[in-house]
A and B are shown apart, each in its own frame.
Chain A
Amino acid sequence: MLAIFDYKAGNQTSVHRALEHLGIPNRITNDPEILNNAQGIIFPGVGAAGQAMDELHSAGLDEVIKSLIWQNKPVLGICVGCQILLDYSEENDTRALKIIPGECRLFNPSWTDYENVPIRVPHMGWNQVELKQECELFAGIDPDADFYFVHSYYPAPSEEYVIGTTRYGIDFCSVHGRKGLWAVQFHPEKSGRPGLKLLKNFHTYCQEAAHAE
């Protein structure tokens, strides 16, 4: 069973629907006991980093997610859930969870794209991921597949945590983390078949990790 970490951050029902479609047992919850018993955690999020941290903090859920990560529970952060694993976000000048070193920065609308036209902010739509390290999440996914992004701030973790990058004005880090703790800036639950495959790969990893214990 996968737990979808509930901190009123928005897209948990979209993630839930995608997992249901895949036939993956899942619960939207913030109950520490259920989270502990889950094989893996999806840490979703849309909207603003500041608001997300406030929600987590006021309910004491920041400590809950941190302790799950310290216990090596597999975690997949999505969008704002990916950003706030870092130390800091420029959005609302937010001190984040400090699990992965790095920060989250605002796209600069004076950067230009491949046609030499200024980029639009937010970065909204379908874009590709170039893997810098092998990653279980992308097993069996066509390297030319696009994923759905919608964000104005981008993760900038320290180099060793960069798993994949995406071109938008600059090459920004769109996938970061380490084995078993992954964070994706795009929305796999809204990225068609490649996104569903990524969620399935995460579930497979979680099952294997639980089995190995």
Chain B
Amino acid sequence: MLSKRVIPCLDVRNGRLTKGVKFEGNVDIGDPVETARKYYEDGADEIVFYDITASHEARGIFLDVVEKVASQIFIPFSVGGGINTVSDMRDVLVAGAEKVSVNSGAVKNPDIISEGAARFGSQCIVLGMDVKRVEKSEAIPSGFEVVIHGGRKYMGMDAIEWAKTGEALGAGEICLNSIDADGTKNGYDIELTRLVAKSVTIPVIASGGAGSPQHMVEAVTTGRATAALIASIVHYGEYTIADLKKHMAEAGVQTRSVW
């Protein structure tokens, strides 16, 4: 049976692991390579790295982190942030990532999904979506709108339609982040997760809002996600990944128990 995945997300800024409100007030919380290693040892099923600087100067430092991670951890990991061209994708894949996550780059230029899928295979291409609740309208019938720049820019696109478009263009997976839930620790936006998961056949990773193992259980049962992304609840040592998986298993969720 396929296990539900637990995926810690590491935000990296200038080669350091950081956490904070997106793009602002970030605090240095450690070395990303060491942290990734620890999570690997502790049973993480996959790891996501996000380059939140994504500036030209800091890119080299970030790619260096990716390379170090690739030689030390032997589970899949994906890389996002600042992926705007096929050449950006190539850089992180060559550095050792399995998957690349495209987000605002794909909103601005959807063809990057199909170009990336044709060049590297769909299994490599994750469509990252940032989504905010809005009033239902003709343009946004689901009441969930695609946003970029950490939620500051509304794109006039319905999240459900964008998920379907992304799938049709060749994305192999969707990482679905609720801006409303992000950082609240009140749980994932289950309604959003379920809506998106039901409208595509590719796997969906729930993101934003994890505050307890029970939230993760909800995401992969009621929410129909195949994976749960987490950050703060493990970065600050509140839970270990092993704790989270144990709780999920006790709730009847299939998880990877031997590593």
Contact = CB atoms under 8 A, between A and B. Distances in A.
A13 interface: yes
A99 to B, nearest CB: 23
Question: Which range contains the number of B residues in contact with the other chain?
Answer: 20 to 34
Contacts of B227: 125
A127 B2 contact: yes
Interface in A45-92: 46-48
Contact of A17 (B40, B96, B259): B96
Contacts of A124: 123, 172-173, 203, 226
A14 B3 contact: no
Interface string A163-200: 00001100000000000000000010111111110000
B127 to A, nearest CB: 14
Contact of B5 (A126, A145, A151): A126
B140 interface: no
Given A126-B45, A146-B3, A190-B98, A17 B70 contact: yes
Interface stretch (A26-34, A114-122, A131-139, A204-212): A114-122
A144 B172 contact: no
B121 interface: yes
B203 A148 contact: no
B71 interface: yes
B3 A190 contact: no
Contacts of A146: 3, 256-259
Give the top 10 A-B pairs by smallest Cβ distance, nearest first.
A47-B121, A146-B256, A126-B3, A126-B256, A150-B123, A145-B258, A109-B201, A142-B258, A192-B259, A120-B203
Interface of A: 10, 13-14, 17-18, 20-21, 46-48, 109, 113-114, 117-118, 120-128, 142, 144-146, 148, 150-152, 167-168, 187, 189-196
Interface of B: 1-5, 40, 45, 70-72, 74-76, 94, 96, 98, 120-124, 172-173, 201-203, 224, 226-227, 254, 256-259
